[in-house]
Amino acid sequence: MLDTVVFEEYWRNIKVSAYTDLYAYDPENEALLFISLAGNEQAVKAISSAIIAGKTISISREGEDELLLNSRPTSRHRIMSTKLAGGPLHQIVADARFYVTTESDSRLVAIPPDKSLHEAIYTQVLAPLASPMIPAWAEWLSERLKDTDRIREMEGTLRVVEVVADEQIIDEIISEGIRTAQINFNEQGGGYAGVH
């Protein structure tokens, strides 16, 4: 289902609209974190520019209240574009925290419909770290991060979580898990995670 996205500045006589199938936002401050836009090229570019400039956009779905969203003033975004057959433009505007190259200790993780939370966190956040992390520990570690409020669910049509943990925090949690025998290695060289 497509939702309508509108950017309007009535005092400047500007009103443009496009469509979105996926978006995610932070419910604490209504900051738009991710949006997939399609429509007329000028409208899509105007809405993308408005998002990057921190202006308010609205997203509406038939039968539901209109959402008024903006981007955080400190956010950096990346835009990916492609021209569709017949002329429409498709753009994805995503907060830079979705990408590994960000220097923040806060990461945004998009969770594909066919993956669990811990699988997505493992592949997008934990695997690239130098920490001694193995896939068998991912669910256990994700639970520890949730227990300490280091994983926070976003809202929208795309499932996204914010993971607030740097490599030092991950190392400390893993070290504690090994010390307390909540995680360990089995005889075959694989990993085990469980609470004893």
The pLDDT of residue 133: 78
My answer on whether 92 and 115 are in the same domain is no
pLDDT tens sequence across 119-167: 999 988 888 877 777 888 889 999 999 999 999 999 999 999 999 988 8
Length of the chain in terms of residues written: 196
My answer on whether 43 and 125 are in the same domain is no
Query: How far is it, in rounded angstroms, from Cα 162 to Cα 191?
Result: 26
Query: How far is it, in rounded angstroms, from Cα 5 to Cα 24?
Result: 13
- Please identify which residue in the block is written with the tokens 């008024």: 68
The pLDDT of residue 193: 56
My answer on whether 122 and 40 are in the same domain is no
- Give the global pTM: 0.86
Q: Are 153 and 26 in contact (CB under 8 A)?
A: no
pLDDT tens sequence across 10-54: 888 899 999 999 999 999 999 999 999 999 999 999 999 999 999
The total of structural domains in the chain comes to 2
Tell me which residue range forms the domain holding 181: 105-193
My answer on whether 110 and 186 are in the same domain is yes
The pLDDT of residue 196: 43
The phi-psi region of residue 28 (left if phi > 0; otherwise alpha if psi is between -120 and 50; otherwise beta) is alpha
Query: How far is it, in rounded angstroms, from Cα 163 to Cα 121?
Result: 8
pLDDT tens sequence across 79-129: 999 998 888 999 999 998 998 655 667 899 999 999 999 999 998 888 887
Query: How far is it, in rounded angstroms, from Cα 75 to Cα 147?
Result: 27
